[in-house]
Chain A
Amino acid sequence: MIHAFTFAIAANQTVAIVFLAIISYLALKEYLLLIPTRRIDRGLLLFAYLAVPTQYLWAATDWYNMFLVFVPVWMFLLFPALMALRGETQNFLRAVGTLSWGLMLTVFCLSHLAMLLVSGEVHNPVAGGVGLLFFVVVLAQFNDVAQYVWGKLFGQHQVTPAVSPKKTWEGLIGGVLTTVALATFLGPYLTPMDHAWSALAGAVVGVSEFLGDINISAVKRDLGVKDAGGLIPGHGGILDRVDSLTYAAPAFFHFFRYFFTP
């Protein structure tokens, strides 16, 4: 995953955005496979897929306002309306809720990676959008490994036994501290942030990575696929790969944008 990322963002911005859009598409497709859907909504799901290229178009053209409101406002309003017009009320709320939530997570949240790449040219004189994207992706992946290692070595007290029995406070704290250390080192090279801000950004990424991870774990437990392991062997488990980024990308993006917009 990280290799593909590195390749894509090194190649050229358009390639990178298409690559990120494909990840969003695959994540949405996997999500729609896991949730129960209604037969009557079949055609609407095609519209849901169309939201992916549209949202990434806003990112590619740096249309920040539209990027922000497209899914949370327009798609949020559109899909319930379309479903209501079709007239099927059985499980209406479930259908609307699961679809909106999935679009937010797999399209809106993940597309922050693309926005980070595009808008970074203005906001990051040090290493551009690539620097910012690299910063958050490397830290999120690193944090995942660090939490695992710390948890393996010292893990005693579970954070949420019902959701993710392997996540421990020791792993979480050790992982986040390690990520903060790496962020402090990397930040000045990749971003306009100094050591102190970089450390804070590292903490934001570390904690949000953890939250994104347990969020998807909870969804999968609810749907009863947690132990299905190879639900989509070879092909996917794409949600498992990007679960942390669904939280880390928007959290870091808005943290950075708020404090470092010129």
Chain B
Amino acid sequence: MTRFLRFLFYGVLVRGVILLGLGLTVRHRDRLPRKGPTIIAANHNSHLDTLALMSFLPLPLLPKLRPVAAADYFLSGKIRSWFARDIVGIIPLTRAQTRKGANPLAYLVTALDRGEILILFPEGSRGEPEALGRFKTGLGQLAATYPDVPVVPVYMHGFGKALPRGSSLLVPFNCTVSVGEALYGRDFLGPEREGAQARRAFMTAYEARISDLAAAETVPDWD
């Protein structure tokens, strides 16, 4: 039942709104993963980001797609919690400083072990619409833990105009999703680099990919 609702939600409702209402351009669709385990790491401007990403990945992959989302926001309230967990299918992540010893990434590790496709937003928050925030390094840690799992950088543009943080009014804007070439944790691990150093090197490479994708967009920003 839940599975069917989830299919209906993404396959019909979200696709309909995003493709017909907004209009979506996907660049380099061929770079998208076709199977798990994979990490899709995108910039974050709007709730639409997750939905859009999930709507243009092939429908058969839907059961494997797991957006990683803030526990404090999405698990507040019964209905929101049900919707976030069962329909959107999020993996809750604790944003606040965690207890000593508790690994906030534990759920993500389990999901990757199950062969799922993680969708995560290293900025950690939607932040100012249409502006890149600072990337958190948890992604680098995951990449170092799973050196052979591809990390696909995705740059999304326009969603913050269509539905920015703090607004519930959806205004049609054509949105762009630009897929970058995958990065692998193994390319950043080495005898001379380990731990924090590898993580930082990975994040630098990731940021460079996102910046390159962003630079290729010619559409004007907001004033």
Contact = CB atoms under 8 A, between A and B. Distances in A.
Interface in B174-223: 174, 218-223
Nearest to A224: B218
Counting chain A residues whose Cβ lies within 8 A of the other chain, the interface size class is 20 to 34
Interface in B29-47: none
A42 interface: yes
Interface of B (DSSP majority class): loop
A46 interface: yes
A228 to B, nearest CB: 5
Given A225-B218, A234-B25, A33 B173 contact: yes
Interface string A201-231: 0000000000000000000000111001001
A121 interface: no
Nearest to A48: B171
Contact of A236 (B23, B129, B158, B220): B23
A36 B220 contact: yes
B23 A26 contact: yes
Contacts of B219: 33-34, 231
A29 B171 CA distance: 10
Contacts of A234: 25
A231 B218 contact: yes
Contacts of A45: 171-172
A26 B24 CA distance: 12
Interface residues of B, number: 20
Contacts of A233: 25, 27
B25 A223 contact: no
A39 B173 contact: no
A32 B223 contact: no
A127 interface: no
A91 B223 CA distance: 9
Contacts of B110: none
Interface in A65-101: 90-91
Nearest to B162: A42
Nearest to B130: A39
Contact of A33 (B129, B169, B174): B174
A229 to B, nearest CB: 11
Contacts of B174: 29-30, 33, 232, 235-236
Nearest to A91: B223
A38 B23 contact: no
A161 interface: no
A46 B129 CA distance: 18
A219 to B, nearest CB: 13
A165 interface: no
B169 A49 contact: no
A56 B171 CA distance: 20
Interface string A36-53: 111100110110010000
B218 A43 contact: no
A36 B24 contact: no
B44 to A, nearest CB: 18
Interface of B: 23-25, 27, 129, 158, 161, 164, 167, 169, 171-174, 218-223
5 contacts: A36-B220, A36-B223, A39-B129, A233-B27, A236-B23
3 closest A-B pairs (Cβ-Cβ)? Answer: A36-B220, A33-B174, A39-B222
